[in-house]
Amino acid sequence: MEMIQDVSFWLLPQPDDRAYLQNVMAPLATRYNAPSFSPHLTVARLQVPYPFQALLDKLVAMPPTLSLATHSLDHSPEFFRAVYIRTALETHLVTLRQSLYRLWPDNPVKPFLPHISLIYQNLGSAERQAIIHSLNIKKKFVFDTLAIVCPQTQGEWTAVDTWQIIGQWPLADLPLTSAPAPRSPLLP
């Protein structure tokens, strides 16, 4: 019987944008006693058979970087989207997402709201709005890496500090023809 793994496919920002976002996120995490996590944009969260890396060579080719415009800052009562940057629904992003769902068609397609979360926390509406009003976010972010992430214990996504990158590739290498990068801890 094959093992099924719950994974998340992320786009990781280029180093300058990663540093920029971490400088926004770190003070929020400290002020609101929230978990720290690496800046990212979730492309899809899927249930995939393990091992799954061999199928990734069928992903669509991508440009070496993906530049996404910022639409707005927004907030939600959801823990994982307390305050976030809404980004453009760019053609290459949609194509990558569709490619992932084609590789594992047993996954139901979920609504897609491309965004970069700035804080994971249960906050009241007034707190979330105050955070938004205190921020001035740049107009675009550039992503250059696809990563696969999972929690240390399968299904325990709320244990943010246990998240691990189990594979990552430069977008320029898609479709993949090489083995994944070694496992690395997710937190900076």
Residue 131 sits in a domain of what CATH number? 3.90.1140.10
Q: Is pLDDT of 181 > 90? A: no
Average pLDDT value for residue range 26-41: 96
Is residue 50 within 8 Å of residue 152, measured between CB atoms? no
Cα distance between residue 65 and residue 104, in whole Å:
24
155: left (phi over 0), alpha (psi -120 to 50) or beta: left
Q: With CA atoms as reference, report the closest residue to 79 among 30, 120, 42.
A: 120
Total of domains in the chain = 1
Domain range for residue 90? 3-185
Strand spans (E) along the chain = 3-13, 41-50, 66-75, 83-87, 115-119, 140-150, 164-170, 184-185
Q: How confident is the model at residue 169 (pLDDT cuts 50, 70, 90)?
A: confident
Q: With CA atoms as reference, report the closest residue to 98 among 130, 60, 55.
A: 60
SS3 assignment, position 139: coil
The model's pLDDT over 47-83, given as tens digits with 9 standing for 90+, comes to: 988 777 667 777 767 788 899 999 999 999 999 999 9
Is residue 22 within 8 Å of residue 141, measured between CB atoms? no
Cα–Cα separations (whole angstroms), residue 175 to 2, 144, 146? 25, 14, 11
**Averaged pLDDT of the chain:** 87
Q: Is pLDDT of 188 > 50? A: no
Q: Is pLDDT of 43 > 60? A: yes
Specify the length of the chain in residues.
Answer: 188
* Long-range CB contacts (within 8 A, 24+) of 122-130: 122/77, 122/79, 122/82, 123/32, 123/75, 123/82, 123/83, 125/75, 125/77, 127/32, 128/75, 128/76, 128/82, 128/83, 129/75
Q: Is pLDDT of 36 > 90? A: yes
Q: Is pLDDT of 177 > 60? A: no
SS3 assignment, position 100: helix
Q: Which of 38-47, 70-79, 135-144, 159-168 has the weakest average pLDDT? A: 159-168
What pTM was estimated for this model as a whole? 0.88
pLDDT at res. 154: 78
The model's pLDDT over 85-137, given as tens digits with 9 standing for 90+, comes to: 999 999 999 989 998 999 889 999 999 999 999 999 999 999 999 999 999 99
Q: With CA atoms as reference, report the closest residue to 44 among 102, 85, 97.
A: 97
pLDDT at res. 180: 44
pLDDT at res. 186: 44
pLDDT at res. 39: 97
